[in-house]
């Protein structure tokens, strides 16, 4: 098997008509976004092991459609020294350093920001970090330092937004029979936010219609006979990469329900990040406003539950595009 440093390279050469300034700029921006390095005007290099390699063919075809010419070549470094020199062209250290400086500055003001501002800040820096990682074809010590700093930064925001938020647990998810979970008391931390309120709605709507809820000041207050959710040590909480809502879906055999699965993607994106769901920002804004306006968690669940009913109907309709 070839190692990344010894693997061949892809070289895309493009030539566009003199009057094709708009097309030239569009293709140049696309190549830059894919992480290509310009060796000279019109000649762009990319490691062949990069996942973006397949897209160079599309850009070559676009060049031809714009009346230009293109050549997509597989090239090989003549020796180890030349290979190292080519690899050095893709060093992202300077980009990471700029991002880390911004991250350090942002962290100094976290305590002064509202929940909505913290979430916006988290998503903005996450987009930048993910874009950098996507074109970091030869990770090094700076890459590892950036990963650690990003984890610390996201954990700091999580600690402000959700004190006592559960940590990921390892292990499998046991399938439960809903028959044995009827008319039960369910408990979670008060001041409901995305995962907890979605779990409460799911329990009430699909698992235990006669559920009674306890909103806890602290997980330590959970009665022995209550089913806890979304806190460390609870019966239902984060497992692996799944948030509590997704764990409940898997536990009660609901994860093949299309509408609920898409709701799970929305909750996951808002709770721990990941693939963006278009409706997520609107739901988050609605929930933030409702928390300010409503007197307690029972009222919040009643109002937000209607919104979740509508989102579920939307996701289940077959018209929703993922």
* Report field, pTM of the whole predicted structure over 0.75: no
pLDDT, tens digit, for every residue of 4-46? Answer: 444 589 999 988 887 767 877 888 888 888 899 999 888 999 9
CA angle at residue 139 from 138 to 144, to 5 degrees?
Answer: 175
Q: Give the pair of three-digit tokens for residue 157.
A: 């925001």
Q: Average pLDDT of 75-89?
A: 91
pLDDT, tens digit, for every residue of 192-249? Answer: 999 999 999 999 999 999 999 999 998 888 988 889 999 988 889 999 889 999 999 9
Among the ranges given (2-11, 12-21, 88-97, 145-154), the one the predictor scored with the smallest mean pLDDT: 2-11
pLDDT, tens digit, for every residue of 259-289? Answer: 999 999 999 999 888 787 899 999 999 999 9
Contact 314, 320 (CB under 8 A): yes
Q: Average pLDDT of 180-202?
A: 94
Contact 103, 150 (CB under 8 A): yes
Q: Average pLDDT of 64-92?
A: 90
In degrees and rounded to multiples of 5, residue 71 shows phi and psi of -135, 125
Q: Average pLDDT of 185-193?
A: 94
Is residue 88 over pLDDT 90?
Answer: yes
Return the closest-CA partner of residue 138 out of 91, 81, 77, 80.
91
pLDDT value of residue 216: 93
pLDDT value of residue 168: 52
Query: Given this structure, which CATH class describes domain 9-88?
Result: alpha beta
Q: Give Cα separations from 291 to 211, 231, 269 (angstroms).
A: 22, 20, 20
pLDDT value of residue 92: 93
Higher pLDDT, 143 or 165: 143
Q: Where are the domains of the chain?
A: 9-88, 93-161, 178-316
DSSP class per residue in 29-58 = HHHHHTT-EEEETTEEEEETTSTTHHHHHH
pLDDT value of residue 22: 81
Return the closest-CA partner of residue 9 out of 57, 59, 46.
46
* Exposed/middle/buried for residue 133 (C-beta within 10 Å: 0-12, 13-18, 19+): middle
pLDDT value of residue 169: 54
pLDDT value of residue 163: 63
């Amino acid at each position: 098997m070839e190692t990344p440093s010894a693997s061949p390279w892809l070289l895309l050469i493009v030539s566009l008509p003199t009057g094709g300034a708009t097309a030239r700029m569009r293709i140049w921006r696309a190549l830059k976004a894919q992480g290509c390095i310009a060796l000279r005007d019109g000649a762009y290099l990319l490691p062949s092991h990069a996942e973006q390699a397949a897209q160079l063919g599309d850009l070559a075809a676009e060049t031809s459609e714009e009346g230009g010419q293109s050549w997509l070549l597989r090239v090989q470094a003549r020796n180890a020294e030349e290979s190292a020199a080519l690899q050095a062209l893709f060093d992202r250290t300077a980009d990471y350093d700029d991002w880390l400086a911004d991250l350090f500055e942002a962290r100094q003001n976290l305590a002064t920001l509202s929940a909505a501002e913290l979430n916006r800040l988290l998503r903005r820096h996450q987009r930048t970090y993910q874009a950098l990682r996507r074109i970091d074809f030869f990770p090094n010590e700076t890459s590892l330092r950036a990963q650690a700093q990003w984890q610390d930064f996201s954990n700091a925001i999580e600690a402000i937004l959700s004190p006592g938020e559960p940590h990921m647990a390892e292990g499998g998810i046991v399938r439960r029979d809903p028959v044995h979970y009827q008319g039960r008391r369910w408990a979670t931390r008060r001041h409901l936010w995305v995962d907890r309120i979605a779990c409460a709605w799911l329990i009430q709507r699909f698992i235990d219609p006669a559920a009674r809820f306890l909103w806890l000041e602290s997980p330590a207050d959970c009665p022995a006979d209550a089913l806890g959710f979304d806190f460390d040590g609870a019966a239902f909480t984060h497992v692996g990469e799944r948030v509590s809502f997704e764990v409940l879906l898997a536990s009660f055999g609901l994860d093949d329900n299309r509408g609920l699965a898409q709701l799970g993607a929305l909750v996951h994106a808002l709770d721990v990040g990941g693939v963006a769901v278009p409706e997520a920002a609107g739901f988050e804004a609605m929930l933030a406003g409702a928390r300010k306006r409503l007197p307690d968690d029972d009222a919040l669940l009643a109002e937000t539950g209607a919104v979740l009913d509508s989102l579920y109907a939307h996701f289940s309709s077959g018209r929703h595009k993922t």
